[in-house]
Chain A
Amino acid sequence: MTGIKNKKTLAAQIVLAIILLILCFLVLFPFWLMLVKSFKSFMQEVDSPLSLTFPLNFKNYAVAWEHISGSIFNSFFVSISEALITLVLSSVGAYAFARYKFRFKNIIYSAFLALMMIPGVLTLTTRYVMVATSFSLYGTYWGVILPQAASLVPFGILLLRGFFDGIPRDLFDAADLDGASSVKQFVKIALPLSLPILLTLVLMNFMTSWNDYLWPMIMLGNQTDRYTIPVMLNSFTLDYYKTELYYAAPLAGSVLVSIPILVLFAFTSKQFIRGMTSGAFKM
C-alpha cells in the first residue's frame, strides 16, 4: 500500500461517515423533537418551540398515561392473539404441505400463495359488511383479530413450509416406526426444531398488528375502551389539541407507546430483524 492510496481511502471514508451522519441526523431529529416537545408547558412551547426547555413537565406524561395506558393493554391483547392464531393456523397448514403427499397438494398450495396477491382494498368493503353485519362482530376484539389473523396465514405457510421441508425425513420415518401419531410428531419433532422461525413469524405478525390502524379503527367504532394504540393515539391527539391548542401530552403519549417495541427489540433483535426482512428473502 502506498501512502497516497491510504490517504485517498481515508478521505473517502471521512466523506462517507459525514454523509451518514447527516442522514442519521435527518432521520432521528423528528424523534428528538418529539421528546423535547413532550416535556413542554404551553408557554415553553410558544416561547421556544424547537429547543429543549427546563423545567421538564412530567405532568404531560401523567396526562398521556391516563388516556393511553388502556390502549397499550388492548394492543398487547389484540396483537398477541393475532400472532398466536396465525402461528397455529400457519404451522398446521405448513406441516401438512411439508409432511404429506396428497391429491391437489400443489393446487391448494398455489391457491394459498395467490392469496398474498389480493390487496386489502379489494376485500375491505365485503369483509367489513360480512364481519360487522353477518357475524355481528362490530365493536368487538374478535372483529379486529380474526380477519387480520386469517389474512396473515398464507405468508405464514410459505415461511414455515420452507423451514419444515428442511427437517430430515428420517426423523419422521423413525417416529412412524415407533408408532408416534402425526400430532405427536408435529408437537415433538416439527415444532421444537423450528423454534427460531416460529418466533420470527410471531414477531413479524405481532408488529403488523401492532402498527395496524385502518381495520381496528373501522371495527371498533366508538368503543373507546377497546381502542388499540394507533386508534387511541390519533383520537387522543385530536381531542387534546381541541382544548389545549398544542401537542405536548399526545407527544408524551407517542413516547410512551414507542417503549414496548424498543424493549422487545432489545431482547430479540436478531429474530426481529429477520422477521421484518424475511418477506424479501422469500420472494
Chain B
Amino acid sequence: MIQPAAKKLKRAKNQNIAYVWLLLPVIAVSVFCVYPAIMAVVRSFMDWTPNKSEWVWFANYKELFTDSLFRKAFGNMLILVLCSLVTSNVMTLLLAELLFNLKLRKLEKAYRYLFLLPALVPGMVSVLLWKNVILSGSADGLFNSVLSVFGAKPSGWYFDKGRVILSMALTNFPWVGGISFLIYLSGLQAIPESVYEAAELDGISAFGRVLKIDLPLLVGQIKYFLIIGIINGVQVYDLQLILGLSPVDPASTVPGYILYHYTFASPRYGYAASIGVLLFVITLALSTISNKISDKMRAENGI
C-alpha cells in the first residue's frame, strides 16, 4: 500500500507545476484587469483628483443620481442601445434567412464575401465615411443629396441637436455589414434537414417556418447578440468622440462619454469611477436577465 501512496504523492507534486504555468497570465490579468476593477469600486467612494484623494462615501453616487446631464445621457444611451439591438438583430437575421434560402450556392457564396467586406475595413474608416460623406451636414452629403431630390432641405444630421440621436441610430444603415450574419447563418445551417422536410409536409408557409422553427432554434445566437449588444451598447461612445461632439451636451452625450470627460478633460477620477461602477452593475443585471429569459424560452421549446 505504500507504493500507490508514494505514486499519488509524486503525482500531486507534479500537478503543482500548474501554478508555475499559471503565473504569467495570472500576474498579467491581476495587474491590468483585476486591480483596476477593484480600485474603480474603491475609488468610486472617494473624492479623487490628480491632487487629492479622500473618502466621501456615497457622495459621488448621490451627485450622479441628481445630475440632470447624467439623467439625459442615460436616456440617450437607452434609446441608442434599444435601436441598435433591434435594427442590427432584425436586419442580420433577415440577411441570414435570405442567404439561407437562396438556392444558387455560388451566388450565396459570392454574397457572403461581399457582405463581409465592412468587417475587414477598419472601424474608423466606416465612421469617418458616415461623418464626412454619407450623413455629412453639407449639402452634397449623400443623404442630403438623395433627400433633396424629394425637395427636403439639407440637414446638419450629427450636428443638428434635434437629429443627432436619430443620426447616430441611422449610422451603418442597413446595419447588416460585418460578421454577425455568418453566426446566424451557421445557426440556420445547423438545423437538421428532417425538421424542414416535416414542416414542408405539414404545408407550413415560409414565413410561418421562420417564426415557428428558425427563431426558436436560434435562441442561443440571439441571446449572444443581445448580451454582447448590451455590454457594448451601454459603454460605447466612440461615435460621439470621433464626431467631436461635446461630452457635456445633453442632446447627444451618454454616460460613458461623461466618464471620459471626468477622466481626461476635467479630472474628477472618483466621480468618473462611480459612473463606471454603475454601468458595470447595469450590464451585469441586463445580461443576467436576458440569460434567464432565453433559458426559459429554451426550456419551453424543449431544447
Contacts and interface: CB of A to CB of B under 8 A. Distances in A.
Interface of A: 9, 12-13, 16-17, 19-20, 23-24, 26-28, 30-31, 33-34, 37, 49-50, 88-90, 92-93, 95-97, 99-102, 105, 108, 112, 115, 117-131, 146-147, 149-151, 153-154, 157, 182, 210-211, 213-214, 218, 229-230, 233-234, 237-238, 241, 247, 250-251, 254, 257-258, 261-262, 265, 273, 276-277, 279-281, 283
11 contacts: A89-B28, A92-B21, A117-B283, A119-B235, A119-B279, A122-B279, A211-B123, A213-B241, A233-B124, A258-B120, A273-B116
Given A122-B40, A213-B242, A112 B32 contact: no
A151 B43 CA distance: 21
B103 A13 contact: yes
Interface string B86-103: 000000000100110111
Nearest to A263: B120
A241 B132 CA distance: 10
B69 interface: no
Contact of B124 (A112, A211, A273): A211
B28 A233 contact: no
A37 B263 contact: no
Contacts of A147: 32
A27 B117 contact: yes
A89 B25 contact: yes
B121 A13 contact: no
- SS of A interface (majority): helix
A92 B277 contact: no
Given A95-B21, A277-B179, A124 B263 contact: yes
B301 interface: no
A30 B133 CA distance: 8
Contacts of B35: 126, 130
B87 to A, nearest CB: 13
Contact of B122 (A101, A125, A233): A233
Contact of A230 (B15, B103, B119, B122): B122
B231 interface: yes
B interface residue count range (under 10 / 10 to 19 / 20 to 34 / 35 or more): 35 or more
Contacts of A129: 269
A241 B25 CA distance: 44
B102 A20 contact: yes
Contacts of B206: 12
B275 A121 contact: yes
B98 to A, nearest CB: 5
Contact of A13 (B104, B122, B123): B104
Contacts of B103: 9, 13
Contacts of B142: 30, 33, 50
B291 to A, nearest CB: 10
B19 interface: yes
